[in-house]
Amino acid sequence: QEEIADQVDTIGVALGTAIFSTPGHLKVNGSLTASNALSVAGLLSGAGSVVPAVAVSGTLAPGNSIGTLSTGALTLGGASTFDIELGRDGLTPVSDRTAVTGGVTIDSGANLSLTLFGGLSNPFASDIFYLIENDGVDAVSGEFTKLNGLTTTLTEGSQFSWNSQDWLITYQADVGGSSFTGGNDVAIMVVPEPGALVLAAVGIAAAAMARRRVRG
């Protein structure tokens, strides 16, 4: 077993067949490769690439502020925390993200921790934030059961409250299609206001009527 001390920033580290355990803070802004799984009992962060499978019993905080950390197959254990910051780039909602090559498993008890980055105070209605980009066609196994340390219903399609706003969570988003449905990625979305939904429905109906008039 090989251990890493606090606040280590890896760049191009190859570990061969080592079983790699991180009791402290491992920040990966380059690439870290190993033949066996990376076991994270402390904190894993950064915007680089961790090639082996990653099993987290501590905290996974992708990015440096907001950014993406790439990993092999990912398991978020029952005592783990997935620490995510939400922000905005102009009009585009952005967030920390983990891009996974392999399966994604979320054990019961896993905690989703959300914070707002920089000057973002209230995301817009219908904003979508993609948290886990899951490659291939395999579905996410399991679901988060805690939000910021509190037991919360976070099953597929469920609604929850945070930051004085209502949100939806899905494990079937599609990052590539910029969609909240149709894939196998993990995302959250600010629930549109009822008035906005009504206006959208009216707009769709009006557009349909206009098309019928044109055809006529």
Q: What residue ranges of the chain have pLDDT lower than 50?
A: 1-7, 18, 196-216
Give pLDDT tens digits for 145-175.
999 999 999 999 999 999 999 999 999 999 9
Cα–Cα distances in Å, from 125 out to 34, 86, 167? 42, 14, 9
d(CA 101, CA 104): 9
pLDDT, residue 20, reads 59
Angle in degrees, CA 53, 58, 62, rounded to 5: 65
pLDDT, residue 16, reads 57
Model-level pTM? 0.83
d(CA 55, CA 38): 6
**With contact defined as beta carbons under 8 Å apart, do 172 and 183 qualify?**
yes
d(CA 134, CA 45): 18
Two tokens at 113? 């921790």
